[in-house]
């Protein structure tokens, strides 16, 4: 049995780590589309076709449920996949909804009309493709009214993290926060809308200041998946735990080991 976890690169390992801690008895198959990363600068059609190909590979590996641990894929491809592509008996979940539910203090499955919430000014930090999709704002509008969202496309941050250049990544974070503040001087909350960004959470918090609540996804997604599997135990699947990549397995394994600070061995997808 196994649950699939997909990301364009290594950022989804932040989600995977939280899932493993929350669900220690569930094996996961992680697939990184390293050969085509990053997704954040691609067109919506490119992202859709790459994501469906990757998810199909996870279905073929015995996964009945796949988590898109990639905000760009969740933003640009998930709705289209769910409406016209996902095979019967399979399920694909994204990472936006658990985050928005936490920010708006709504329980999973709460389908009541959108309402006023405590947070009124939200900064969204994400990839260019996620920002242009406006998927976060769309999902938020289903649950809350009166929330002003200012989005900042954080070009270069994912590339710096994937290359292991954290000094550059921190400098880029500060630059992007400065740019956001020129548009929204006093955000109350900040959403880290990319699964790479939890690795830079301290840098975002330092740049934003202690008065801004930073929402990061890993633990929220893990709690949401645990709740989902409790209600749908049949979706755990039949595969075995594995790490797969479309890139060079040795190179990706080395970077992933640095990323999580534990040994990880990828094989070719």
Q: How far is residue 245's CA from residue 228's CA, in Å, rounded to a whole number?
A: 27
Task: Examine the domain organization and report whether 202 and 149 are in the same domain.
Answer: yes
- 63 catalytic residue (yes or no): no
Task: Examine the domain organization and report whether 116 and 155 are in the same domain.
Answer: yes
CATH of the domain at 65: 3.40.50.1860
Strands 213-215 and 144-145 turn out to be unpaired
* pLDDT of res. 258: 84
Task: Examine the domain organization and report whether 8 and 111 are in the same domain.
Answer: no
Task: Examine the domain organization and report whether 180 and 252 are in the same domain.
Answer: no
* pLDDT of res. 1: 63
Task: Examine the domain organization and report whether 188 and 233 are in the same domain.
Answer: no
Residue 243 and residue 41 in contact, taking contact as beta carbons nearer than 8 Å: no
The model's pTM? 0.90
* pLDDT of res. 238: 78
Calculate the CA dihedral of residues 86, 128, 136, 182 and round it to 10 degrees.
Answer: 180
Task: Examine the domain organization and report whether 90 and 155 are in the same domain.
Answer: no
Alpha carbons within 13 A on the beta-carbon side of 147: 27
Neighbour-count burial for 225-264, b at 16+ CB within 10 Å, e otherwise? beebbeeeeebbbebeebbbbbbebeebbebbeebeeeeb
Per the residue annotation, which of 126, 194, 199, 252 is the catalytic one? 194
* pLDDT of res. 3: 96
Per the residue annotation, which of 67, 70, 76, 169 is the catalytic one? 70
Task: Examine the domain organization and report whether 227 and 249 are in the same domain.
Answer: yes
Task: Examine the domain organization and report whether 123 and 200 are in the same domain.
Answer: yes
Task: Examine the domain organization and report whether 116 and 183 are in the same domain.
Answer: yes
Task: Examine the domain organization and report whether 176 and 263 are in the same domain.
Answer: no
The residue range of the domain holding 120 is 97-215
Task: Examine the domain organization and report whether 44 and 109 are in the same domain.
Answer: no
Task: Examine the domain organization and report whether 136 and 111 are in the same domain.
Answer: yes
Overall number of domains in the chain: 2
* pLDDT of res. 175: 98
Q: Which regions of the chain are under pLDDT 70? A: 1, 108-109
- 194 catalytic residue (yes or no): yes
């Amino acid at each position: 049995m196994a649950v699939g976890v997909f990301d364009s690169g290594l950022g989804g390992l932040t989600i995977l780590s939280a899932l493993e801690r929350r669900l220690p008895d569930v094996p996961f198959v992680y697939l990184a589309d390293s050969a085509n990363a990053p997704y954040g600068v691609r067109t919506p059609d490119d992202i859709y076709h790459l994501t469906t190909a990757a998810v199909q590979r996870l279905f073929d590996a015995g996964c009945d449920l796949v988590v898109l641990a990639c905000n760009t894929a969740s933003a640009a491809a998930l709705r289209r996949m769910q409406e016209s592509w996902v095979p019967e008996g399979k399920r694909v979940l994204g990472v936006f909804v658990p985050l928005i539910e936490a920010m708006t203090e709504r329980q999973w499955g709460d389908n009541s009309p959108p309402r006023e919430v405590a947070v009124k000014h939200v900064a969204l930090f994400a990839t260019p493709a996620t920002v242009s999709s406006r998927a976060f704002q769309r999902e938020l509008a289903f649950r809350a009214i009166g929330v002003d969202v200012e989005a900042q496309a954080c070009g270069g941050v994912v590339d710096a993290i994937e290359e292991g250049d954290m000094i550059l990544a921190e400098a880029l974070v500060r630059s992007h926060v400065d740019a956001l503040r020129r548009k929204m001087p006093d955000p109350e909350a900040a959403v880290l809308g990319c699964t790479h960004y939890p690795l830079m959470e301290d840098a975002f918090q330092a740049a934003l200041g202690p008065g801004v609540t930073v929402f990061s996804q890993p633990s929220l997604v893990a709690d949401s998946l645990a709740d989902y599997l409790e209600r749908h135990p049949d979706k755990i699947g039949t595969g075995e735990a594995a790490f797969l990549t479309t890139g060079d397995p040795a190179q990706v394994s080395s970077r992933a080991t640095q990323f999580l600070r534990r040994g990880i061995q990828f094989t070719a997808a």
